[in-house]
Amino acid sequence: MKIKIGITGSRGFIGQHLIETLQNNKNFELFYCNLPNCNLLNSRSLEEFVKNKDVIVHLAAVNRGTDTEIVAGTVVATYNLLSIMEKTHSRAKLIFVSSIWAETDTVYGQSKKLAEIMIKDYSTRNKTPATIFRLTNVFGERCKPFYNSVVATFCYQVANNQRLTIKNGNRKLNFIYVKDLTKLIEKEILTKRKRLFYFKRIVPSNELSVLELAKLIKSFKNLKNKTLLKSKFYRDLYRTYLSYTDKNFTN
C-alpha cells in the first residue's frame, strides 16, 4: 500500500524540488494543496486535501508582502490546516518546514515561531506525530533571485554580468542545498519516532561570509578546472550558478 503524502506550497522553490525527489519513490502517492481547488485560507476546501493522508508536508508560507499578508500566509494558514486535521481526526504525520528567521523579531520570523508553537500544541493535544525542521539559508536551482536567497541573487548577477550588491559583507551565513533538504524530508516521512513531537534546528557546517560567498561565485564565471571544487558544498553552489546560465553541470 502506498504512503499518501499531501504537500502544501508544492509550487514553491522547495516544493518543486521535493516533488522531484518523492516522485522517484514508487511507494509514495502525492497530493497537492494548490489554488483554486485547495486554499489554506478557506477551511472548507482543506477537508478533501487532508482526508486519508498518511503524511502532510507543510511548506506553504508568505515571506514578502504586508504584515497582514505575511501573518495570514503562515499563521492563519497553519491554524486552518491544523483545525481541519483535528476536526477530521486525521492521524497524518505533519512535517513543517520552518526557518531560522523564527529566532528574529521580524513579522515573518514571528509568524514562523507562532506556527511552530501551534504545531507542537496540536501534536501534544491530539497525540499525533509532528516534526519541525527549522532551517538556515536554503539554496539551489530555480530559486528566485532578489527575493530571499543571497546565493540566487549573486548567481544571477554574475551569470548576467551585473554588479553584485553586497550588504553586511562580514556576516557569516550557513547554507543547505535544497536537494539535501528534500532527501532529509523524504527520510523523515519514512521514520517512525518514539517521541510524537520532534524538533530539529538544521544549521549545516557550510559556512561563508557574504563577501566570501560573493568572491566564490564570481570565480565560477571563468572556472576551467572543476577539480578546484573540492567540497560537495562548492559543487552544489557551482551547479546552482550554472542553472542561471545556458550551461549544464554534471558531478
| Predicted pLDDT at 248 | 59
- The full length of the chain comes to 251
* Contact indicator for 135, 181 with CB cutoff of 8 Å: yes
- pLDDT tens for residues 24-79? 999 999 999 988 889 998 888 899 999 999 999 999 998 889 999 999 999 999 99
Of 58, 6, 11, 10, nearest to 28 by C-alpha is 6
Distance CA 26, CA 22 (A): 8
Question: Quick one: DSSP state of residue 51?
Answer: T
What is the average pLDDT score of the chain? 94
Residues 6 or more apart whose Cβ sits within 8 Å of residue 177: 138, 139, 140, 206, 233, 236, 240
C-alpha cell at 6: 499531501
CATH number for the segment(s) 3-242: 3.40.50.720
| 3-state SS assignment for residue 250 | coil
C-alpha cell at 125: 493535544
| Predicted pLDDT at 215 | 96
Residue 3 β-bridge partners:
28
C-alpha cell at 101: 528567521
* Contact indicator for 169, 163 with CB cutoff of 8 Å: no
Distance CA 215, CA 5 (A): 41
| 3-state SS assignment for residue 20 | helix
- pLDDT tens for residues 151-186? 999 999 999 999 998 989 999 999 999 999 999 999
- pLDDT tens for residues 88-121? 999 999 999 999 999 999 999 999 999 999 999 9
